[in-house]
Structure 1
């Protein structure tokens, strides 16, 4: 990374931690430097080294676990309404920092600044939404057929571990923390070691808003050190993971050894289905947004474009022509629409997958096989003449690459859409109302759009089918994920029946 870019990252981060000499983990109100091996970071826009910091390791987990247990008791002792007021205060703190937080996210993650501004605002909305739920989520009275009063309590899990990815660190940070603390839990958040910066700031802002110190700790470091130690920690009662299916399987296995429940939000290979009666202009714009926004680094990206054969060639040309006009550039440039791939490993995977597609017989209708001269940039890419058995149609690419697949009938479109191990999202474009609802009902996906794509809001449940994971991480359903039900029985009879035992009068 050029010197001024390094200074931008350090300056943006130091705005929140001016007295800290080293990057580290946020625990008990302080930034604590790790003592493990150095983690080297690279600038996605140049491919050059930026900065490094020490892995937190198991020691930081032990410290965070201790303070989390203390803070959780203090937090749960508050009234529900008091917790809700703190949640709204957190949202205000975040809204006051939209521009500096967006800049920090853009520099660290390589995301276009205009996207980052919107994501920071959405994180504030998450805390507002769940702040409103804090005193409205409660148990029930059960009309049991005895003389008992039977009621349920919704109680927090205690301390939960949340592991978030590098593609949307700010967004997934708020997405997970807000419902967890709204229900009275403490959180150990382990962001990707590549992009911990904005998550650390959110931890700071949560305490600045009035939450107890240690309620949310942000642990910087590797998965095989920090996350592994956290899963094994006795205080952790639930694990939430957002990331790749392969890593999700390993995390679920480790959690199962302690019989810990999990929420897994994993990958996707979502089918975006376009029928010949669709508004092709809107569908073409939607198809581009579905895959090229965020450089395709989105779990719900519409990476398989299923097109009705009568309009296939015309529609693929529309999407390809549009792809070539999308501005790819520096993350901090307000005009940039697509930034770089976040890291070299992912960049190499995306480039390899494009080449594999061409080698397998796909046509490169937009994009290039040339490698980026600087940084990890990949042009918006359209592969046509793809069949659903090709690797580019079955493997998650996680880049700005869409595979166009023709179909002849509604039944075939549904069959192709469901011929995948993933089931995170999908969409259909048609003006036939009955067909739209038929397709929505039959495609195996946790989220499905009709004549649109990527409409996501914290109020709506989100999660996957199949290898895309299980559990839901937003909407009211997330509150169930972060609570456990206790059934309480109270004998109310004046002379209750005692069916067993002996007592001398």
Structure 2
């Protein structure tokens, strides 16, 4: 196996990063670009041995990293952000080739956000804390103590952004990390290791083990040396992780799937509502937050649908490296098969295809046409289950109560979006929606100081701002008695 591959002119190491050095495995897995099916390289495939070595390295590095001052940790994280910015073009191109998302999005939004993840949590760390408070003359002093080695398991749809959304606060808190990136998009995690080492992150503080969930992932979450587990992915995988981690009572943060609604009321700006709906095709529909259920007030259904279909027809599908492309490929043949299965079963059950409905025969491979289905029942699979592809459903409602009931009638609760011209309605409806995030007349506006996570089966816990440090730390309260500092027998005179 070659230790390096060249992806878009960028050299990428195919080995794990453990204890500050590259480590190869005898077994490998093949990484393929979803753009054209080209093989990008053979990647080291880790298992229990590599995971144990990584956790051992993280445990050995933990005392030294935890003992560094907040200012020292913040300086290293800012240096990592500098490194990301210096290699932004390389990171953007490698990730586009690896997971098929739009190159312009990686350049303008995703990779700048990666750098911001490190800068934000470095800055937040410096201001973390609260005033001491009094209890009957006793002083309460709250501290955030590093918890220990953290297992971070990240998905393939936004690989580096979501990896650093977890890694940055974990490191800022004084923890060490073992990161397992998704096997369908592992390459930018390898580049991050090079950047972090160049920024001065000590050996063993960040470790990356590549491989499959059943092998590397399971070994990682069941390891007794892990003190925190943060996972973004599917509900079935989260259940397995929770079961595996239970014997060690390892605290979990789980950001899971969604089946989010977009509620469009008759008093909404209809052009804005169509913009919001079309935006749900972002990243070929591979966004956990996507509002894939369009709930439209019946009096505007016809006009909304006409405008939506015009906009959908204008979307350019093709190579994500092209500036004009609006929707690229899906990540993997298994994902396309899953998406198409949902659509075919929905049509067999009576759904009508208003646009799309299958793979793009002109492009072949992994390009699935942006799809809109109507005539679907509320209890239909296509309404209740996460597709994770460019597939939307359209349902209508007549009253505000009906809209809220439809919106809340799934087992998920990750996000919700609503379009309305009434501030009062927005306040009423938002208060009743079951969701971790509600967007009103906007979508995907995320601030790192805000809590992020899901309700119901969309997740456990919240991360962002103080919530990230609450999870990645052991929070301690030290209570001191009043006037308790004089040595025994001391009379107060010099």
Alignment map for 1:392-431 (pairs within 5 Å):
392-431=382-421
Aligned pair partner of 2:7 in 3, 12, 16: 12
Alpha-carbon separation, structure 1, partners of 2:465 and 2:339: 32
Partner of 2:68: 78
SS in 2 for 1:324: helix
C-alpha deviation, 1:233, in angstroms: 2.0
- Return 5+ residue gaps in structure 2 as ranges: 487-494
Question: Is the partner of 1:51 in helix, strand or coil?
Answer: strand
How far 1:41 sits from its partner (Å)?
A: 2.7
Instruction: Please give the alpha-carbon distance, in whole angstroms, between the structure 2 residues aligned to 1:354 and 1:483.
Output: 44
The alignment status of 1:215 with 2:205, answered yes or no, reads yes
- What's the counterpart of residue 295 of structure 2? 306
Distance 1:205 1:48, change over 3 A: closer
Cα distance, 1:46–1:14 mapped onto 2, change above 3 Å: closer
Distance 2:485 2:160 in 1: 59
DSSP 3-state at the match of 2:309: helix
Q: 1:267 touches 1:422 (CA, 8 Å); kept in 2? A: yes
- Change in Cα spacing, 1:494 to 1:327, as seen in structure 2 (3 Å) is closer
| Corresponding residue to 1:343 among 317, 328, 332 | 332
Secondary structure of the residue aligned to 1:402 is strand
Q: Which residue of 2 aligns with 1:112?
A: 102
Residues 414-455 of structure 1, C-alpha deviation per residue, up to 9 Å, x if partnerless? Answer: 000000000000111010110011111101000111111121
Contact 1:351–1:371 at 8 Å: present in 2 too? no
Once the two structures are TM-superposed, the CA of residue 52 in structure 1 deviates from its matched residue by 2.5
CA distance in 1, matches of 2:245, 2:313: 45
Cα 1:276–1:230, aligned 2, differ >3 Å: closer, same or farther? Answer: same
Task: Find the residue that maps to 1:404 and give its secondary structure.
Answer: strand
- In structure 2, the CA distance between the partners of 1:333 and 1:406, relative to structure 1 (3 Å rule), is same
CA deviation vs aligned residue, 1:270-322 (integer Å, no higher than 9, x gap): 00000111110111011110x21100000001100000000112212211221
Distance in 2 (CA, whole Å) between partners of 1:437 and 1:387 is 28
Q: Could you tell me how far 1:387 is from its partner in structure 2?
A: 2.5
CA distance in 1, matches of 2:325, 2:334: 23
Query: Aligned partners of 2:359, 2:474: CA distance in 1, in Å?
Result: 53
- Give 1:83 shift: 1.1
Matched ranges for 1:47-446 at <5 A: 47=37, 49-117=39-107, 118-138=109-129, 141-145=132-136, 148-289=138-279, 291-370=280-359, 372=361, 374-446=364-436
After superposition, the Cα gap between the structure-2 partners of 1:88 and 1:382, relative to the gap in structure 1 and judged at 3 Å, is same
Q: CA deviation at 1:12?
A: 3.1
What is the DSSP-based 3-state SS (H/G/I as helix, E as strand, rest coil) of the residue aligned with 2:5? helix
Count of residue pairs the alignment pairs up: 483
Q: Note if contact 1:95-1:121 (Cα within 8 Å) is conserved in structure 2.
A: yes
CA RMSD of aligned residues (A): 2.1
**Alpha-carbon offset, residue 495 of structure 1:** 11
Query: In structure 1, the residue corresponding to 2:435 is in which secondary structure?
Result: coil
Following superposition, the deviation at residue 150 of structure 1 comes to 3.7
After superposition, the C-alpha distances for 1:120-156 in whole angstroms (9 at most, x for unaligned) are: 100111111111012221365342336x544232101
Tell me the secondary structure at the aligned position of residue 423 of structure 1. coil
TM-score between the two structures when normalised by the length of structure 2: 0.93
Would the aligned equivalents of 1:24 and 1:56 in 2 still touch at CA under 8 Å?
Answer: no
**What is the alpha-carbon distance in structure 2 between the residues aligned to residue 421 and residue 246 of structure 1?**
13
How far apart in 2 are the matches of 1:453 and 1:134? Answer: 28
TM-superposed deviation, 1:334:
2.1
Counterparts of 2:352 and 2:166, CA distance in 1 = 40
Query: Deviations along 1:239-287, whole A, 9 cap, x unmatched?
Result: 1100011101111111112111100000000000001111101110111
Cα separation, 1, equivalents of 2:484 and 2:393: 72
* TM-score normalised by length of structure 1: 0.91
Do 2:144 and 2:469's aligned partners in 1 also have CA atoms closer than 8 Å?
no
